[in-house]
């Protein structure tokens, strides 16, 4: 007897290295939920709601390479859709399994719950279509072929896929149908040699050149190969906002953050004066190019080479059907090392001199974070003022910085850090979020304790949405203020027994807490209170340039 539809799917996901499945149960998905719970190699990770589950799956995928989300039809899957869209935009693989009503109900266009009452059952899959790279409805007849097809798509494009299963088909035996063998995508060998030759020639003959590694280096697991290529070139490199920590920031070739005309003018002048810039998987978004809704960077396209996952752009010329890994592999072996190009000396922040009773300013806070971080830390940050305060910091070796820089959904970081903690339980996971973002998804803090995880959580309390205030010409619009919570008491209310829970209002408080946490072995939740308008330098510059 062949495996059932759900057994075939779950076994394939386990073979890919996935053992945790995030979700919220629902009656249409009960057979799927039951199969997960009955599989001794899988762990059901129940979340407080479907949106949080999608964010947690996103965080898990960033560490593990891919993840699985399970929701029920209609109301459940639509609740998760914002999180799936973020994963699509930022190229994180999520296998989204949706439990549908019985096929007979679908065929009869019956009026049932969790629908719009119009007998149409493909509407929600249509809604998901723009934010997945493949979709399918599994049946016993198509199961093998369709599962292999969507898995191949997820791996190739590194984006979410949608897998729906009618309730009465979940435990049906699959009909034997050999999966069609997928021909691996390969680079065109002649074009590959031509492009590598052009790149080497441009880098070798440039008067001034630099490298700009991007987010796709991380998403496609090419850190080691890219590092080898950078070291072989001898060239300095910079990163933009979305690309922070894709390569180690302790490498002597690393100059720091390039953010257009906002900060680091010495880096800006160096980068923009280069006659050859080798970008590796960078996304030319507004925040990457120095602004929120603005593009302050001045990069001459004719001087830029951008190696993307499946094509290469050299100036105004495009070369399709080339794998990034093939390009990097050849460049690392063939590049001529340059020793004559040096960028500006990297500047590292220092902690301002203060008294223990002084209020915590942004400058003091972010310099304190810089001293607190350790090698191999996983740092998860919401896209608020904390993000802009942390960008200029040089991180220790092996540490990773994760934010949702392109999609930018506030509230993402709290459940994403839960997912990351599950994927890397032996590493120190540090969540840094603002009160506005945290209020959206704070209930997910209970899941850390439930699964025996020990995060370090910093919640910045500055009386409202500071980033929104800084993005407005008028600073005191009423919509930028929030209900005030006793944040540091939340873990106790949410059942997190034995955690360190502290509130810092002065520099002395912060110093004492940081020392206490240095070797802490439990979960920790720290509320940090700063003056309402104390913003990091980069955020102040953005405000002045509105």
- Condensed to tens digits (0 to 9), the pLDDT of residues 406-463 reads 999 999 999 999 999 999 999 999 999 999 999 999 999 999 999 999 999 999 999 9
Q: In this structure, is residue 179 part of a structural domain? A: no
Instruction: Report the pLDDT value the prediction gives residue 1, as an integer from 0 to 100.
Output: 47
Q: How would you write 367-378 as a 3-class SS string?
A: HHHHHHCCCCCE
Domain of 512 in residue numbering reads as 362-544
Pair 374, 364: CB distance under 8 Å: no
Residue 431's Cα: distance from chain center in Å? 13
Let me know whether 367 and 426 are in one domain: yes
Pair 29, 99: CB distance under 8 Å: yes
Task: Give me the phi and psi of 78, to 5 degrees please.
Answer: -70, -35
Helix/strand/coil percentages in the chain, nearest 5: 40, 20, 40
Let me know whether 120 and 223 are in one domain: no
Let me know whether 395 and 523 are in one domain: yes
Pair 238, 255: CB distance under 8 Å: yes
Give the contacts of 86 (CB within 8 A, at least 6 positions apart): 54, 55, 58, 404, 407, 409, 412
Q: In this structure, is residue 343 part of a structural domain? A: no
* Residue whose entry in the numeric block shows the structure tokens 């946490």: 517
Let me know whether 539 and 477 are in one domain: yes
Pair 148, 128: CB distance under 8 Å: no
Let me know whether 213 and 301 are in one domain: yes
Q: In this structure, is residue 153 part of a structural domain? A: yes
CATH of the domain at 387: 3.40.50.970
Q: In this structure, is residue 410 part of a structural domain? A: yes
Let me know whether 314 and 377 are in one domain: no
Let me know whether 307 and 203 are in one domain: yes
Let me know whether 377 and 504 are in one domain: yes
The number of beta carbons lying within 10 Å of the beta carbon of residue 187 is 21
Let me know whether 203 and 138 are in one domain: no
Instruction: Report the pLDDT value the prediction gives residue 302, as an integer from 0 to 100.
Output: 95
Instruction: Report the pLDDT value the prediction gives residue 144, as an integer from 0 to 100.
Output: 95
Let me know whether 235 and 328 are in one domain: yes
Let me know whether 369 and 505 are in one domain: yes
Tokens of 365: 């806070």
- DSSP-derived 3-state class of residue 195: helix
Burial class (CB in 10 A: 0-12, 13-18, 19+), 356: exposed
Instruction: Report the pLDDT value the prediction gives residue 180, as an integer from 0 to 100.
Output: 63
Closest CA to 245 of 377, 127, 103: 377
Let me know whether 328 and 463 are in one domain: no
Q: How many domains does the chain have?
A: 3
Spatial distance between the Cα atoms of 68 and 87, rounded to a whole number of angstroms: 12
Spatial distance between the Cα atoms of 119 and 105, rounded to a whole number of angstroms: 9
Q: In this structure, is residue 520 part of a structural domain? A: yes
Q: In this structure, is residue 62 part of a structural domain? A: yes
Spatial distance between the Cα atoms of 124 and 115, rounded to a whole number of angstroms: 9
CATH of the domain at 193: 3.40.50.1220
Q: In this structure, is residue 341 part of a structural domain? A: no
pTM of the model: 0.95
pLDDT tens over the chain, length 546 residues = 459 999 999 999 999 999 999 999 999 999 999 999 999 999 999 999 999 999 999 999 999 999 999 999 999 999 999 999 999 999 999 999 999 999 998 888 998 889 899 989 999 999 999 999 999 999 999 999 999 999 999 999 999 999 999 999 999 999 877 666 666 678 999 999 999 999 999 999 999 999 999 999 999 999 999 999 999 999 999 999 999 999 999 999 999 999 988 889 999 999 999 999 999 999 999 998 887 767 888 899 999 999 999 999 999 999 999 999 999 999 999 999 999 999 998 777 788 899 999 999 999 999 999 999 999 999 999 999 999 999 999 999 999 999 999 999 999 999 999 999 999 999 999 999 999 999 999 999 999 999 999 999 999 999 999 999 988 888 889 999 999 999 999 999 999 999 999 999 999 999 999 999 998 999 999 999 999 999 999 888 888 877
Q: In this structure, is residue 342 part of a structural domain? A: no
């Amino acid at each position: 007897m062949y495996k059932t539809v759900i057994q075939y799917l779950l076994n394939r996901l386990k073979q890919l290295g996935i053992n945790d499945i995030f979700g919220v149960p629902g009656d249409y998905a009960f057979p799927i939920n039951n199969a997960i719970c009955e599989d001794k190699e899988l762990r059901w990770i129940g979340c407080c709601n479907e949106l949080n589950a999608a964010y947690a799956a996103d965080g898990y995928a960033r560490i593990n390479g891919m993840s699985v989300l399970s929701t029920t039809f209609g109301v459940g899957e639509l609740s998760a859709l914002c999180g799936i869209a973020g994963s699509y935009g930022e190229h994180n693989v999520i296998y989204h399994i949706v439990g549908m009503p019985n096929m007979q109900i679908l065929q009869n266009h019956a009026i049932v719950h969790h629908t719009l009452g119009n007998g149409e059952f493909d509407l929600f899959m249509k809604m998901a279509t723009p934010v997945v790279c493949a979709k399918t409805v599994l049946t016993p007849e198509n199961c093998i072929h369709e599962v292999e097809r969507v898995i191949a798509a997820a791996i190739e494009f590194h984006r979410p896929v949608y897998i729906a299963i009618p309730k009465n088909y979940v435990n049906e035996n699959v009909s034997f149908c050999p999966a069609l063998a997928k021909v691996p995508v390969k680079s065109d060998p002649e074009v590959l040699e031509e492009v590598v030759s052009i790149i080497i020639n441009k880098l070798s003959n440039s008067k001034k050149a630099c490298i700009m590694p991007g987010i796709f280096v991380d998403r496609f697991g090419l850190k080691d190969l890219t590092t080898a290529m950078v070291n072989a070139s001898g060239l300095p490199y910079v990163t933009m906002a979305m690309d922070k920590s894709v390569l180690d920031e302790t490498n002597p070739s690393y100059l720091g953050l390039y953010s257009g005309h906002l900060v680091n003018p010495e880096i800006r002048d160096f980068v923009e004066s280069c006659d050859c810039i080798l970008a590796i998987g960078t996304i030319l978004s507004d925040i990457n190019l120095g602004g929120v809704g603005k593009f302050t960077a001045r990069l001459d396209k004719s001087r830029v080479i951008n190696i993307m996952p499946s094509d290469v752009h050299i100036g105004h010329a495009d070369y399709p059907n080339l794998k990034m890994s093939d390009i990097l592999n050849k460049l690392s072996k063939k590049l001529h090392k340059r020793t004559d190009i040096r960028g500006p000396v990297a500047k590292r922040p220092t902690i301002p001199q203060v008294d223990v009773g002084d209020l915590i300013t942004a400058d003091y806070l972010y310099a304190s974070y810089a001293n607190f971080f350790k090698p191999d830390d996983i740092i998860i940050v919401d896209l608020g003022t904390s993000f802009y305060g942390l960008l200029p910091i040089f991180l220790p070796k092996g540490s990773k910085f994760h934010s949702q820089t392109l999609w930018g959904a506030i509230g993402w970081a709290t459940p994403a850090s839960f997912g990351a903690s599950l994927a890397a339980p032996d590493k120190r996971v540090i969540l840094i979020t603002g009160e506005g973002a945290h209020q959206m998804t704070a209930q997910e803090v209970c899941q850390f304790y439930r699964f025996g995880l020990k995060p370090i959580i910093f919640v910045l309390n500055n009386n409202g949405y500071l980033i929104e205030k800084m993005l407005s010409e008028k600073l005191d619009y009423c919509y930028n203020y929030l209900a005030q919570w006793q944040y540091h008491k939340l873990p106790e209310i949410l059942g997190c027994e034995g955690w360190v829970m502290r509130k810092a209002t002065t520099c002395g408080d912060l110093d004492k807490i940081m020392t206490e946490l240095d070797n802490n072995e439990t979960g920790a939740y720290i509320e940090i209170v700063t003056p309402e308008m104390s913003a990091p330098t980069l955020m102040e510059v953005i405000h002045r340039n509105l």
